[in-house]
Structure 1
Amino acid sequence: MALNFPKLHMLFLSLLVIVNPFLFVEPIALEPTTHPFTKTLQTLEGVHKGQTVKGVAELKTYLRKFGYLKNDNNNSPNDHFDEYVESALKNYQTYHNLPITGKVDAITIERMSLPRCGVPDINIITHGSPNGLVILANYSFFPGSPKWDNTKRALTYAYVSSANVALSMDDVRVAVQSAFKSWSQVTDFTFTEIGTESGPVDIVVGFHSGDHGDGYPFDGPGQVLAHAFAPQDGRLHYDAEEQWTTSPTGQNGGLEKNGWFGRRRRRPRKPVSIDLQSVALHEIGHLIGLGHSSVLGSIMFPAYGGVRRDLTQDDVDGIHALYKSTN
């Protein structure tokens, strides 16, 4: 039975936050997506500072969207690869544990081609305002380190969507509940589902397509999988156009060091299904206050690397540091 949620009322937001990952079965590699941006990246291989090549403008948009491009000639949409783009690309490569070349090389194309969370890796500081992520160790927090009040540890959640997906409601509930349970085991938070008819809830989970009223439209299958918002906003949105699954037999993470990024993949194949629970685990981290981590393999790493359903030490250290917890 297809999942059918009531329509989501128009919502407005002040902070973006979203996706990603993770359990191991056998060492397989997640293929890059077939998103149009992947095709653009492949035409840019080898491009570097000083060149003007069609497609660089799209690269700028990507780097700007995820927090790496700060000063690029007043956000110029042109195709010139200048020193700002080179610097942004080096920062991206540094954050993602890639060789720092400042060029659009094959391994950077592979990483950028992975499906990922829609939350920026680094929030841009503008006009002297504290909009940048506060980096502690490898994990990170949102601007101002927002978190739930000390009196808010028993959080409620409900499902409200504006689009259908080919999953049963029971399967969705089990997957999301399992992800909530993982965070409960390392914090003093509890998460209880209630119906919207019971009154206001703390967290709203839903599936949506394209422009769904929060200012951060989804881009269809391939790139951005989901996004969530910092405390105490409480919204977690999945892109309904992705190929979601709750039983990804035989699929696993592929982001470990010495993993698939050492292989040259020239032609992306059909993307595998995306594990709903893995993405929920990542997004819930955002909901309770964590930004992205630069630790390859952590749940809060921004790129989706396959099925990963266990929190890593970096994830646990991050949430404990935010709430000064020793759980």
Structure 2
Amino acid sequence: MRHHPYKRKPITVFSFFFLIYLNLHSPQTIEARNPSQFTINPSRHNVNIPEIKRHLHRFGYLQRNNVSFEQALSRYQKNLGLPITGKPDSDTLSHVRLPRCGFPDDVDSKTMAFHTKQKYVYFPGRPRWTRDIPLQLTYAFSQENLTPYLTPTQIQRVFRRAFAKWASVIPVSFVETEDYEIADIKIGFFAGDHGDGEPFDGVLGVLAHTFSPENGRLHLDKAETWAVDFHEQKSTVAVDLESVAVHEIGHVLGLGHSSVKDAAMYPTLKPRSKKVDLNVDDVVGVQSLYGTNPNFNLSSLLASETSTNVADGMLVRSEGVIYSTLGTLLVLGFLNL
């Protein structure tokens, strides 16, 4: 049946929230890194041009002769979700001083570290756990590699909640086992050079790193002051374990870093701060790998984020980003426009 060209279906409440959500997010891309890292805001010391060049060279941006300083700096800004100016402005200078992992961000296009998909990204080849759906993965903790700041029970509770965040949006369940050797996901706290080619660097800087599917290694820096309750842990450099756990599990599942600052997969975290909830960008990215948990309601998350952003005065012009995952296409089917 044909509809009259000037007759439109009414906009539903869900359509309204979804359209506002699109207006709240302007498209960006970011090249993610492996292993992952969280960092803190540095003090704003002067950063001279030679130091910036050393930083860009160390992390892969100036390793090709045909790349200018301005091009390398622009790529760095793009990867971190900063305003792309090609100049060493204040935002860029502050990020140059941020502690971070030693894995290079920008590499030759034939061996690019991650493939970009809108704001969320994947590992090369888009690896995922390739077992039957619904998928069940086991995880275990190294009893020889724990942290003195928390009890085993506290660590277990934190990771149980963190795994539940991801399990609520995809058809994947996570089951703890005591057998560390055979577990799919192996979790431990390690110090310095611990044999995986990615040594930790002490207090603050690189807090954790994880490897792509189906490796399953999830390592946290033992030197950090790990916390589950900031009321009890008063250290100024305390790091929230659940926030880091949620982020690292995203890497375990195959996600790279997002340029969306509210996303769990954004690469930085300040001391004494929490980011334990999944953003729509996190959800759409992981669902494109594993499908949708039939009990998950995306419209509720969209409405929640939209109302929060509108309340914060964050309404901005959008260029109409539409994610191309099956789950979101089904959602778009309900937009009675």
> 1:121·1:291 contact (CA, 8 Å) conserved in 2?
no
Aligned residue for 1:89? 73
Q: How does 1:284-299 map to 2 (within 5 A)?
A: 284-299=249-264
**Counterparts of 1:133 and 1:123, CA distance in 2:** 9
> 1:248·1:307 contact (CA, 8 Å) conserved in 2?
no
Q: How far did 1:31 drift?
A: 5.8
Aligned residue for 2:324? none
Aligned residue for 1:309? 276
- The DSSP-based 3-state class of the residue aligned with 1:100 is coil
Matched, 1:180 2:163: yes
Letter in 2 for 1:42: H
> 2:264·2:282 contact (CA, 8 Å) conserved in 1?
yes
Letter in 2 for 1:177: R
Letter in 2 for 1:207: F
Aligned residue for 2:154? 171
> 2:40·2:269 contact (CA, 8 Å) conserved in 1?
no
| Structure with the bigger percentage of helix | 2
**Counterparts of 2:113 and 2:52, CA distance in 1:** 28
Number of residue-to-residue matches in the alignment: 257
Compare CA radii of gyration and give the structure with the larger one: 2
User: TM-score normalised to the size of structure 1?
Assistant: 0.69
**Counterparts of 1:72 and 1:219, CA distance in 2:** 27
**Counterparts of 1:18 and 1:119, CA distance in 2:** 10
Aligned residue for 1:234? 216
Q: How does 1:42-191 map to 2 (within 5 A)?
A: 42-45=45-48, 47=49, 53=50, 56-61=53-58, 63-64=59-60, 69=61, 71-73=63-65, 83-114=67-98, 118=101, 122=105, 124-125=107-108, 128-129=110-111, 131-151=112-132, 153-160=135-142, 161-162=144-145, 164-191=147-174
**Counterparts of 1:174 and 1:163, CA distance in 2:** 14
Q: How far did 1:54 drift?
A: 5.4
**Counterparts of 1:189 and 1:96, CA distance in 2:** 30
**Counterparts of 2:165 and 2:104, CA distance in 1:** 23
Aligned residue for 2:186? 204
Q: How far did 1:168 drift?
A: 1.2
**Counterparts of 1:112 and 1:325, CA distance in 2:** 38
Letter in 2 for 1:134: H
> 1:16·1:119 contact (CA, 8 Å) conserved in 2?
no
RMSD of Structure 2 on Structure 1 (CA)? 3.0
Aligned residue for 2:207? 225
Letter in 2 for 1:86: E
Q: How far did 1:42 drift?
A: 2.8
Bigger relative contact order (CA 8 A; separation at least 6)? 1
- The DSSP-based 3-state class of the residue aligned with 2:268 is coil
Percentage identity across paired residues of the two chains: 35
> 2:56·2:73 contact (CA, 8 Å) conserved in 1?
no
- Note the alpha carbon deviations across 1:186-239, whole angstroms, 9 max, x for none: 011111111127x61100000001100000111111211100011100000001
**Counterparts of 2:97 and 2:154, CA distance in 1:** 29
Gapped runs of 5+ residues in structure 2? 1-32, 295-337
Aligned residue for 2:228? 246
Q: How far did 1:89 drift?
A: 2.0
- Note the alpha carbon deviations across 1:17-69, whole angstroms, 9 max, x for none: 3245xxxxxxxxx9625xxxx7xx83425x3xxxxx357424532x33xxxx1
**Counterparts of 2:185 and 2:192, CA distance in 1:** 21
Gapped runs of 5+ residues in structure 1? 1-14, 21-29, 48-52, 74-81, 252-269
Aligned residue for 2:307? none
Letter in 1 for 2:54: A
> 1:236·1:283 contact (CA, 8 Å) conserved in 2?
yes
Letter in 2 for 1:155: L
Matched, 1:18 2:36: yes
Q: 1:282 to 1:19 in 2, by over 3 A?
A: farther
**Counterparts of 1:271 and 1:122, CA distance in 2:** 29
- The DSSP-based 3-state class of the residue aligned with 1:150 is coil
> 2:204·2:237 contact (CA, 8 Å) conserved in 1?
no
